[in-house]
Structure 1
Amino acid sequence: MADHVIPHFHNDSGVARIEIGVKEFMCVGAKPPFDHPHIFIDLGEDDERVCPYCSTLYRYNPALHGTETIPPGHLFVEPIAA
């Protein structure tokens, strides 16, 4: 059982770079229905990586906590089914 949840980030606004406070995450591209395959990205020793699907540059920022982003509002939360 996983001991932590992997945050998912989106780039609905189409910015070139999103700063994040984690080194392991999922990129979903834009919000559904315009999303791409949700892919796991591990920065490892690096501080930045480009998503191979949507070309968003994700940059690790140690000043951010958990799901915070710069610019704000790029955490993807799965909609609750009715």
Structure 2
Amino acid sequence: MAATGIPHFCNDLGVPVVEVGAHEFMCIGATPPFDHPHIFLDMGDDHEIVCSYCSTLYRLNPALKSSEAKPEGCVWQERPVAA
């Protein structure tokens, strides 16, 4: 999860559906430096949403915590910058 507390998800694996535990999150497409603009997605009352940049389908899975995804490789965590 990024420093803002909003979960960030990516789809380097190229899977057709990423299950997430959050209604609101950021899609970054792929891990940097191959990411697209980080898009805030809000499912609202729905259980699915498609990212307008990378066309990844995100589906709510209530069994997951807000910072979790299936497959697990779709969770992106910002790495601290080395000093």
Aligned to 1:29: 29
Determine helix, strand or coil for the equivalent of 1:66.
coil
Tell me, yes or no, if structure 1 residue 9 matches structure 2 residue 14. Answer: no
Pick which of 58-67 and 37-46 moved more.
Answer: 58-67
Moved over 4 A (4+): none
Q: What is the CA distance between 1:73 and its match in structure 2?
A: 2.0
Which consecutive unaligned segments of at least 5 residues does structure 2 have? none
Aligned CA RMSD, in angstroms, stands at 1.1
Q: 5 Å matches for 1:25-64?
A: 25-64=25-64
Determine helix, strand or coil for the equivalent of 1:73.
helix
TM-score by length of 2: 0.90
| 1: CA distance, partners of 2:66 / 2:24 | 10
Paired amino acid for 2:16 = A
Q: Percent same amino acid at aligned positions?
A: 59
Q: What is the CA distance between 1:68 and its match in structure 2?
A: 1.5
The count of residues paired between Structure 1 and Structure 2 equals: 79
Paired amino acid for 1:80 = P
1:21-43 CA distance string (max 9 Å, x none)? 01000000000111000010000
TM-score by length of 1: 0.91
| 1: CA distance, partners of 2:12 / 2:78 | 14
